[in-house]
Structure 1
Amino acid sequence: MTIITNPSSFTLVLISITLVLALARRFSRFMKPKGQLPPGPRGWPIVGNMLQMIINRPAHLWIHRVMEELQTDIACYRFARFHVITVTSSKIAREVLREKDEVLADRSESYASHLISHGYKNISFSSYGENWKLVKKVMTTKLMSPTTLSKTLGYRNIEADNIVTYVYNLCQLGSVRKPINVRDTILTYCHAVMMRMMFGQRHFDEVVENGGLGPKEKEHMDAIYLALDCFFSFNLTNYIPFLRGWNVDKAETEVREAVHIINICNDPIIQERIHLWRKKGGKQMEEDWLDILITLKDDQGMHLFTFDEIRAQCKEINLATIDNTMNNVEWTIAEMLNHPEILEKATNELDIIVGKDRLVQESDISQLNYIKACSKESFRLHPANVFMPHHVAREDTTLAGYFVPKGSQILVSRLGLGRNPKIWDEPNAFKPERYLDGHVEKSLGVTLMEPDMRFVTFGTGRRSCPGTKIGTSMTIMLLARLIQGFEWTLPIGKSSVELISAESNLFMAKPLLACAKPRLAPSLYPKIQI
């Protein structure tokens, strides 16, 4: 439990609560449920469980602790006038994301989501409606279509080659036993692939010859993760909208700075490309996602997206293409280092299916079932964030027989599903074999998707991620290349990796450090392609 010790912060909290109390009568009509709500902790009049949420940080630990004490897989918390309903059951999760998918298809509003999306102009944060359907269709049928992904395969191949050479070069800088920052390596790949596919270039301006990220890329990456943290945080202003803009919990300053940095990096490229296509005649063909967004037209021949809408989609791609892959691969390698027999099995699979005379390719992924099982187990145990983005009830409905008022926020717990002992045998153990031994996927091949919602990878239903295929390709390619190209061992003096999550998200609390030794012929580590 964390107690507020900063007097100024506590004063702001008291002021906020006082303002809420002053408006109690105005909001009282929202607080009279028409049926039995899911079980939850007792709260105060008007403010509900706001004070408990503020005192108990990080909030997600308190939320799950309450659910354990109540022995329930569905719980209801009231933060001011908002009902927040959390779910840790696969059966109820399927009800949320399939049976009641359309009814629960809206999104909640917040200062962070409004700023990141330029006024809810992207898929992730916009309300369910015609504009959302249009953008989702563009993402699905244009940016993430098989044709476009095939066309951009060359970009992904370049960065898959670059990452093994980058690590190879790091191995040559000093002692073979000198630890490598695995997280930085993974982020180098993730950011470079995202940049190539979105903008058709690896760097914003200054080229880094050794294959790593330049200063501007690192700043861009840090801003992306800060924006994500702000979005997923349980901030006071998420539930007391009239306090937005006062920076009562400092999160608003952080998200403003993050979005400003992302804009400084992205906007010049977007503006220059719009000028090229709409003023100077464009190129011979569309080469990347930005080209597609700029050139799309409606039935009347008008450009489909404005500058603000394009930058909103670009920012969406920034956020969506990096965190899952980075988090998953780092945790997977960490778990493998703690279980050398699993790392050996994964290496043997690559040696048998791919061999040591060529580098693994995307076309090999379908056969790498053990590698995929390892990645899938990491998605179960170590999701990037505790909850899926909010689903909001568009009308009164029910879940698991309980009443859910219109406007309620539904939070499906990635962590709660993945570690639910009612669903999983040995829920805290890293066991990739659970997806292979006697499992239906053994004959069909392992996929990263989880159709029964026993845990979450890329989501499902209307609000599912349209980039499931590219997300799978990036994650498995990176993991396979790192395992095929190098022998990974613990640093000298270390007997295991500390598997501790951060508090603001579920990334590893400390970046993973490990030693790498090349295991392929030197000729298989190509030169860096800038």
Structure 2
Amino acid sequence: MIMNRPMHLWIHRVMEDMQTEIACFRFASVHVITVTSSEIAREVLREKDEALADRAESYSSNLISHGYKDIIFSSYGENWKLAKKVMVTKLMSPTTLNKTLGDRTLEADNIVTYIFNLCRAGSKQATINVRDVTLTYCHAVMMRMLFGQRHFDEAAEDGGLGPKEREHMDAIYRAIDCFFSSNVSNYISCLRGWNIDGEEAEVREAVDVINRCNDPIINERMHLWRNGGGKEREEDWLDTLITLKDDQGKPVFSFDEIKAQCKNVNVASIDNTMNNVEWTIAEMLNHPEILEKAINELDIVVGKERFVQESDIPQLNYIKACSRESFRLRPANAFMPPHRAREDTTLAGYFVPKGSQVLVSRLGLGQNPKIWTEPDVFKPERHLNDYARDSRGVTLMEPHMRIAIFSTGQRGCAGTKIGTSMTIMLLARLLQGFEWTVPNGASQVELIAADTNLFMAKPLLASAKPRLAPGLYPRIQI
């Protein structure tokens, strides 16, 4: 493991050399089974779903989940089922998502105005850090829906991230990277806490930063609700978590469990949207004909007299196809979070002992030549053909597991609808609001992925120029 980092490249190279779509790697006493086949992935996430519904333990997941008190990292059981039910029926219900639509629209307005102001300062054309823009939007939306506020302390005057928000966001990304890294202590539990390769210290520091930002808000809000502080109605997800009562009228979640759920929202709401939108715009800059088709679709469906809204998303099939193609070709991480076998079972006819970890490969599915023709080529039209007869149009859901955008099954993502809305809304707003070109002096964007994760190795820089009437861009609302 240590000699073959990044490990995901080594694992895929070994599987390619073996010409197999399922393999077993033994790390110490742990069997790690990797899957690159859509058929076997469906077996993992559907047919053998309950048998493989546990999570693997690690130093990082323990810290991020506040001792496995969340829904992403905790073991399968009654507490997990309760937390998952709350997430699905309360935080992610159609009623709640409709109630928070205003928050998401507000931040969609803010992000185009933020870029507009940067362009105006640069004589109507400016070089924009696309990653910074996408992160600003994702963090602001997450903060609005979770805490009902955009900033922790003072607002940034230009509409971007303030110092504390940027520190918070950076800590979230470091925690995610540590979770997805292949730490030796993940497989040899007695080594946990010894900081063998330095990552344990990094995740401790990252989680401390997240807690320092989140905890004062959670503490103050719990005091308001549970000590008659004066709040009259639920206004955000934190209110919902605090006010939930069981049949005896007692709070459903403790302080530690609420902290864990809030960190869940932190880590689950940022990386996919940021990564997808950045890669999609990069690919479009290298394929001007694709960029032109996407803009033409926006002009036909929405026009130039108003900004695109979430209600327009069902009709934006080409833009959804572009996003879907980026998810196929450029996932945020090589593997889905590991599943752990709760009992002896089988996969593809092979014996899988209890305690084994199963990793479904996002890369292996999305770039599998048995599934996709020209798997290395960015070709959104392939998804239009797939959904030509579907009355719902193109969707980011993938029932056949040919790509892994959102997880499915028992451990499936509860936020597929909000994840889709955030991703397509941000991409559509950026394309509708601005003319994007490669910066001066460059002919193409370098499409190189990082080693630790699969983000672009360098943040995407692109020239932007407003393409709508200046009066359409609203003022920043803090």
TM-score bracket for this pair, using the shorter chain length: over 0.9
Matching residue of 1:419? 367
For residue 202 of structure 2, what is the aligned residue in structure 1? 254
Aligned equivalents of 1:305 and 1:114: distance in 2? 18
Alignment of 1:316 with 2:270, yes or no, is no
**3-state SS of 2:126 partner:** coil
Instruction: Tell me which residue corresponds to 2:173.
Output: 225
Q: Distance in 2 between matches of 1:334 and 1:295?
A: 44
Cα deviation per residue 1:309-366 (whole Å; 9 max; x = unaligned)?
0010000000001010000000000010010000000000000000000000000001
Contact residue 182 and residue 513 of structure 1 kept, 8 A: yes
What's the secondary structure of 1:203's corresponding residue? Answer: coil
1:93 paired residue number: 41
How much does 1:173 deviate?
1.5
Q: Which residue of 2 aligns with 1:116?
A: 64
Using the TM superposition, give the Cα deviation of residue 280 of structure 1 relative to its aligned residue in structure 2, in angstroms.
2.1
Residue 505 (structure 1) aligned with residue 440 (structure 2): no
Paired with 1:108 and 1:87, the residues of 2 have a C-alpha distance of 16
Amino acid at match of 2:177: D
Q: Is the 8 A contact 1:177 1:492 kept in 2?
A: no
TM, length-normalised to structure 2: 0.99
Q: Look up the SS of the partner of 1:436 in the other structure.
A: helix
Indicate conservation of the 8 Å contact 2:277/2:323, yes or no.
yes
How far 1:444 sits from its partner (Å)?
Answer: 2.9
Q: Secondary structure at the match of 2:33?
A: strand
SS at structure 2 position matched to 1:461? coil
Query: Runs (4+) of structure 1 moved beyond 4 Å?
Result: none
Q: Please show how residues 363-402 of structure 1 align to structure 2 within 5 Å.
A: 363-402=311-350
Q: How far 1:436 moved relative to its partner?
A: 1.2
Contact 1:324–1:384, Cα closer than 8 Å, also in 2: yes
SS in structure 2 opposite 1:197?
A: helix
Equivalent residue letter for 2:99? K
CA distance in structure 2 between the partners assigned to 1:452 and 1:263 by the alignment: 38
What is the match of residue 419 of structure 2?
Answer: 471
Instruction: Give 1:209 deviation, angstroms.
Output: 1.6
Q: Any gaps of 5 or more consecutive residues in structure 1?
A: 1-52
Partner of 1:156: 104
Residues 1:237 and 1:115: Cα distance change in structure 2 (over 3 Å): same
* Equivalent-residue separation in structure 2 for 1:400 and 1:492 (angstroms): 52
Question: By how many angstroms is 1:282 displaced?
Answer: 4.2
Which residue number in structure 1 is paired with residue 441 of structure 2? 493
Shift, 1:439, TM fit: 3.8
Q: CA deviation at 1:263?
A: 0.3
- Give yes or no for contact 2:277–2:423 (8 Å, CA) kept in 1: yes
Q: Give the 3-state SS of the residue equivalent to 2:246 in structure 1.
A: coil
Change (3 A) 1:442 1:347: farther
SS of match in other structure, 1:437: helix
Contact 1:486 1:520 in 2 (8 A): yes
Counterpart selection for 2:250 from 302, 309, 324: 302
Match of 1:147 among 91, 95, 99: 95
Alpha-carbon separation, structure 1, partners of 2:162 and 2:283: 29
Q: Which amino acid aligns with 2:249?
A: G
Higher relative contact order (CA 8 A, sep 6+): 2
Distance in 2 of aligned mates of 1:329 and 1:442: 25
Per-residue deviation, 1:179: 1.2
Q: Which residue of 2 aligns with 1:351?
A: 299
Deviations 1:90-138 (A, max 9, x none): 0000000000000000000000000110110001100000000000000
Instruction: Specify the code of the residue in structure 2 equivalent to 1:127.
Output: S
Q: Structure 2 counterpart of 1:140, which letter?
A: V
- Cα distance in 2, alignment partners of residues 523 and 310 from structure 1: 42
Of 285, 290, 309, which aligns to 1:342?
Answer: 290
Shift of 1:80: 0.2
Q: 2:31 aligns to what?
A: 83
Equivalences for residues 124-139 of structure 1 within 5 A? 124-139=72-87
- How far the C-alpha of 1:438 sits from its partner, in A, is 6.2
1:505 corresponds to which letter in structure 2? N
2:230 & 2:276 partners in 1: Cα distance? Answer: 38
Q: Distance in 2 between matches of 1:150 and 1:421?
A: 40
Q: Percent identity?
A: 77
How do 1:228-247 residues align onto structure 2 when only pairs under 5 Å count? 228-247=176-195
- Give the letter for the 1:401 counterpart: G
In 2, Cα distance between equivalents of 1:387 and 1:187? 22
Pick one of 147, 150, 156 that aligns with 1:202: 150
1:450 to 391, 395, 398: 398
CA distance in 1, matches of 2:463, 2:412: 37
Structure 2: tracts of 5 or more residues without a match? none
2:216 maps to which of 265, 268, 271: 268
Q: Alpha-carbon deviations, 1:392-420, whole Å to 9, x = none?
A: 11111110111111100000000010000
Mapped partners of 1:179, 1:372: distance in 2: 26
CA shift digits 1:269-297 (9 cap, x unpaired): 00000000001254221000000000001
- Return the alpha-carbon distance in structure 2 between the equivalents of residues 366 and 516 of structure 1: 26
Contact 1:177–1:491, Cα closer than 8 Å, also in 2: no
Q: Per-residue CA shift, 1:67-98, capped at 9, x if unaligned?
A: 00100000000000000000000000000000
Change (3 A) 1:441 1:332: farther
Does the residue aligned with 2:319 lie in a helix, a strand or coil?
helix
Q: Within 1, Cα distance between the matches of 2:225 and 2:350?
A: 53
| 8 Å contact kept, 2:126–2:465 | no
Q: What amino acid is aligned across from residue 75 of structure 2 in structure 1?
A: S
CA distance in 1, matches of 2:389, 2:78: 37
Q: Give the SS at the match of 1:86.
A: strand
The one-letter code of the counterpart of 2:113 is T
Partners of 1:312 and 1:444 in 2: CA distance: 36
The match for 2:278 is 330
- Are the aligned partners of 2:6 and 2:451 in contact in 1 as well (CA < 8 Å)? yes
Quote the residue 1:61 is aligned against: 9
Corresponding residue of 1:522: 470
1:61 is matched by which residue type in structure 2? L
**Contact preservation (8 Å) 2:387, 2:394:** no
Aligned residues: CA RMSD = 0.9
| Residue pair 1:435, 1:442 contacting (<8 A) in 2 also | no
CA distance in 1, matches of 2:126, 2:229: 52
User: For 2:385, what is the secondary structure of its paired residue?
Assistant: coil
Assess if the C-alpha contact under 8 Å between 1:73 and 1:87 holds in 2.
yes
SS at match of 2:295: helix
Q: Is the 8 A contact 2:302 2:308 kept in 1?
A: yes
Pair 1:441–1:271, CA change in 2 (3 A)? farther
